Structure 1
């Protein structure tokens, strides 16, 4: 199943969680058929491990324990004693589950200053769902402000209260004058435990629910329908930029066939398989005994009941899909016996299967009245854009244009004028890529003024504002007007995007003045790659950028033909105190130069450079271990950087070739 393969590339636990859950259900089914307390103990242990992976199964435990109890009662009616057939299985299953869970729960509760059974994400998700219902739409800002007021030590008491008193998206607890939130705002941020934050988030969620209970019910019903529909642009699908052709054709087809099409086919078949599995004769014929079917049903119903309470996203369906595939397989294996669905129960299952097929496939979306260019609100698998089918067609159609764009960017970045002219003449080249390439090519040909005129005189403006500013800044650099370049490159709309990677691909900047790259001085774009947004660090007394684990510096036309030196003004300040400071491995393209050991001060470290032909470019590659900063770093991200999980290696002030 494609999502289980792709999610392992992300910080998502569905693959491990689903594996543990399926093994637990398999052992429970084996126990139901053959007995054996070791099987039951193993199932409890595996379910405990699954709960440590995702806290969702914590609420599933009572349902499974109830199923074990009912199975035990059935065996008791066969003549076995109550203690052996009922009490012992339930207690053993629950005990092994708790033995896996309790050590972590005790550790987390002690570390976070209050009761934390698994994790604290449930409170945040509940508050987000309640906020969405209350506001009538999804916005992360109110909840992010709530968390910042409880988490950010740099905010003054007035600023913390201001975040919660906002007339639009303010805190429900604060507006109600709740003593718990008022006391938390009076306390220093460091004195608020994580368990207290969890409690306040739960209280905020219930405050919002009390304020608008009907809206929450309506939102949950809408989310239930959305759970069965395909969101092609979901982050976990790795489909960002598909309209620009960024997805390889094989991956686009895999998403459509191995994810969406498979899901749409399996969903109604699973319901039919459930109806057939309820028949003792037919269920036994396909290996699905009636005793096991209720266990599968409990898991499916539990998920369908809990997911809409929060919010519906593609990955919330993933733990359901393996069981859906099993039931769909039962339906296909029992194809000759579909006549058994003629009963009332079978007819109900067939009707439900048809309704789910309509909800997931949405053929009726073609009938939705839409204005030209308007996105469909009904579409899922079929229908106008953004349906899966329409998005797939759009992604495949735009792929040649993306490849043409890449050829143009490569030619411009390499200062290959002939290849750039050829790429610009490619009929597959998208309009926005031509709008980027035309002015930049004029600059590389020694006509930056003509490039600026070209940029300003374009009949249509397919470029975003930050792209126009970046191109203009590059052309001003080629004119030698560094101040004008800084005005363009330092614009807020450019900073918000932090287009380091884009600038590295497209720009071929002139030689840095004096062979020095002043990092984060509004003029470093095009010279650096693999760096986060710059900021002033008062502890270092400098404006710096954090680097990722693999970063690069470009020094155009700086080689002298003789041996030189590379000097880096670098620091490891910000690394956690309980981790040793790493070394940064430095190389000139593929030639190793040595390493720089980080310190918690800002200091210059120099390495020898071998001779390179005079006037050639020097590309410096830097590699280092990274760490993930605390939650506050994630919450502080604003604008286009929201949700960016940063992996930090070192801070750089400047780099110079001498």
Structure 2
């Protein structure tokens, strides 16, 4: 068995190494930005103050886990990913250990007839956990699932050891209380499971004919340790956040979100966020706050608590008070439409079992354009979706087989309670792919049990004989729900589709992603040629394969501009009214670039300025696609800087600073096309007034690269600028560069995480994208020395 586990562990390592730095990210996803922002503040000694200005508060363990890494290694994600990778390997071993306890304890005194292969169950279960894609990919995602599974599985292993009455089983019970207390402080939803475990402990001891005193002692020990850990945090959180908070306030927010979704009949978090924003954002006027609350249930019913809060300054409303108001609003909505909430929860229960191909954690955005690598596309389909759909039916059948044949074995009963608890609570809120993650390790165990059972009976007739019919029926129903073969009755887009069926079914989407991959790679070559101003290469590549219609809208006009025909390029674009109506920011940016080439700067500003362009903040897109006209001065935020800059955030007008500004990220670049030469200096104007007062003043480091294809070339440092908390200018001599070469300046500075209001302000495409701010720049200029 040890050799088998070692092979499984090697397999798990290989799978994770194959995924290392290969996830097709396009920015932060889901709750990553929030976790990192809060952890960064923790690492800098600010406690949990970041959550004072956020929509909810969080359980503390995962932010503390992240903060410890940031404190030791700086804002570097690699150490976090490595730690989570190690935890994911431990989780594979914990699955094996738990499977071993299931078959060791619950097959006593001798294995039942036909189960000679029981020792293989832990190896098969661990093998399934080793290759299941979310277990292997989540270590490179800043979400709590990997750490949470470590606490959860360790706690179940400890409870299993206690049930086995092995050596030190009372210490194992104490450990289980501690581990599951920590699991609760990682994900607050676990809190409701703890009373069920207490009841299970009493049942376990009474079932084995131990005294009521022994049963009560076991229950009290577990409850005392887990409750003590949780109470310690609850005391701190209640003092910090201005009222009683057991773990966090996400439950209140999710209750309101679920109730609002049911009440309105549509998914979307805008009404819920508006409700909380009115109680949170100090920058809103009283009329704006009242407008945001006007359609809320409590406001329409003149809820005295809500009206009183509306009369308070938002800055004085504590997270605990917001928790009470969110809970009250959620209950008000439930009372207003109870039937709608039941229908919504039933629909969410079905969704919980189905595949959402474009779920944020899967990073599949742009799959239909061919953006996903072939290996990742196949891994999603085979190692996640196929394994899930097949494993779901196997696990349910295996669970039913084991539970009935072993007469309600204790550990299997506990796992069944965990499954039921999640199935009852998740649909009350909402269902997303990652809500299945805490269920899947246990599914691996019972799928392995059934696979071993079927292997043992492979030579006989009716291999499914012996599996309880209710279990077979349930497994079949869930398999059909998850796989959706009936979705072929619909045309694409098929609302029923999950695994099978037309788009957006997993199989259909996989075929689309694979079919478009070669076109995407070809398009990337054309984009690179356009971005470096290589018109000849771009023309040759476009003639070989023009690419998708959506993509050609930008490429062909830009190529005409590079070939000295910007007017013809403009003629290929829709008119401004159509761009505005369709909110086509890409075509609007291309239009601005072509107008800039013709010298029509007013028209270029008009094309770069619309709100739908700002919402996309297309700085990086323009950096990749555009080769702007030569210039010696880049005015940041002046509506003509797109194409010249990378690593900058949305522009800001600031009359008090006497200019328009953009914040840099930790690393930023500025392009000066064809400006290489000798005897030059770099001058810049910055605004240091927004630098945090509790952090040391940073130093801006400048570096340069010159030549062809310099946008991504390594840069050579040539000077530093110590920043001050004022508006100031600085100039540094630039080393000689080849005459007429493209010149890129790289600006590097320690970045900081702003308050939660900054993340809340990110809207549209930028929603959920954490800004790590470096220095606020007005302009960068090349001057003769």
Partner residue of 2:205 out of 57, 63, 72: 72
1:112 alignment partner in structure 2: 241
Q: In the TM superposition, what is the alpha-carbon distance from 1:482 to its structure 2 partner?
A: 1.2
| 1:151 match: secondary structure | coil
Contact 1:13 1:53 in 2 (8 A): yes
Contact 1:20 1:50 in 2 (8 A): yes
Partner residue of 1:9 out of 140, 152, 164: 140
Q: Deviations over 1:125-180 (max 9, x none)?
A: 11111110000001222112112211111211122111111xxxx21111111111
Q: In the TM superposition, what is the alpha-carbon distance from 1:538 to its structure 2 partner?
A: 6.0
1:52 alignment partner in structure 2: 185
Q: Distance in 1 between matches of 2:721 and 2:450?
A: 63
1:322 alignment partner in structure 2: 441
Q: Distance in 2 between matches of 1:382 and 1:323?
A: 25
Contact 2:401 2:471 in 1 (8 A): no
Contact 2:637 2:653 in 1 (8 A): no
Mapped pair 1:423 → 2:541: yes
Contact 1:144 1:635 in 2 (8 A): no
Q: Deviations over 1:318-339 (max 9, x none)?
A: 1111111111001111114697
Partner residue of 1:544 out of 655, 661, 677: 661
Q: In the TM superposition, what is the alpha-carbon distance from 1:32 to its structure 2 partner?
A: 0.3
* Paired residues for 1:254-273 under 5 Å: 254-273=379-398
Q: Deviations over 1:464-491 (max 9, x none)?
A: 6222211111111111221111111112
Q: Deviations over 1:12-60 (max 9, x none)?
A: 1111111211111111111101252111111111111111111111111
Q: Distance in 2 between matches of 1:581 and 1:571?
A: 13
1:218 alignment partner in structure 2: 343
Q: Deviations over 1:336-385 (max 9, x none)?
A: 46979656x800000000000000011111112x3xxx410010000000
Contact 2:158 2:176 in 1 (8 A): yes
Q: Distance in 2 between matches of 1:552 and 1:30?
A: 57
Contact 1:443 1:451 in 2 (8 A): yes
Q: In the TM superposition, what is the alpha-carbon distance from 1:448 to its structure 2 partner?
A: 1.3
Contact 1:490 1:523 in 2 (8 A): no
1:293 alignment partner in structure 2: 412
Contact 2:345 2:427 in 1 (8 A): yes
Q: Distance in 2 between matches of 1:113 and 1:557?
A: 59
Classify 1:156/1:229 alpha carbon distance in 2 versus 1 (closer, same or farther; 3 Å).
same
Q: Distance in 1 between matches of 2:523 and 2:153?
A: 45
* Mean CA deviation greater in 534-543 or 383-392: 534-543
Q: Distance in 1 between matches of 2:212 and 2:692?
A: 56
Partner residue of 1:448 out of 554, 562, 566: 566
Q: Distance in 2 between matches of 1:586 and 1:504?
A: 19
Mapped pair 1:438 → 2:556: yes
Mapped pair 1:391 → 2:513: no
Q: Distance in 1 between matches of 2:246 and 2:690?
A: 31
Partner residue of 2:741 out of 616, 632, 643: 616
Gaps of 5+ in 1: 284-288
TM-score normalised per structure 2: 0.78
| 1:59 match: secondary structure | helix
Gaps of 5+ in 2: 1-131, 706-714
| Runs of 4+ with deviation above 4 angstroms | 337-343
2:616 alignment partner in structure 1: 497
| 1:455 match: secondary structure | coil
* Mean CA deviation greater in 188-197 or 550-559: 550-559
1:357 alignment partner in structure 2: 479
* Mean CA deviation greater in 399-408 or 446-455: 446-455
| 1:88 match: secondary structure | helix
1:286 alignment partner in structure 2: none
Classify 1:201/1:477 alpha carbon distance in 2 versus 1 (closer, same or farther; 3 Å).
same
2:262 alignment partner in structure 1: 133
Structure of higher RCO (CA pairs closer than 8 Å, 6+ residues apart): 2
2:685 alignment partner in structure 1: 569
Mapped pair 1:400 → 2:496: no
Q: For the aligned residues, what is the CA RMSD?
A: 2.3
Q: In the TM superposition, what is the alpha-carbon distance from 1:102 to its structure 2 partner?
A: 2.5
Classify 1:596/1:265 alpha carbon distance in 2 versus 1 (closer, same or farther; 3 Å).
farther
Contact 1:266 1:325 in 2 (8 A): yes
| 2:638 match: secondary structure | coil
* Paired residues for 1:214-253 under 5 Å: 214-253=339-378
* Mean CA deviation greater in 174-183 or 577-586: 577-586
TM-score normalised per structure 1: 0.92
Contact 1:518 1:524 in 2 (8 A): yes
Q: Distance in 2 between matches of 1:615 and 1:309?
A: 64
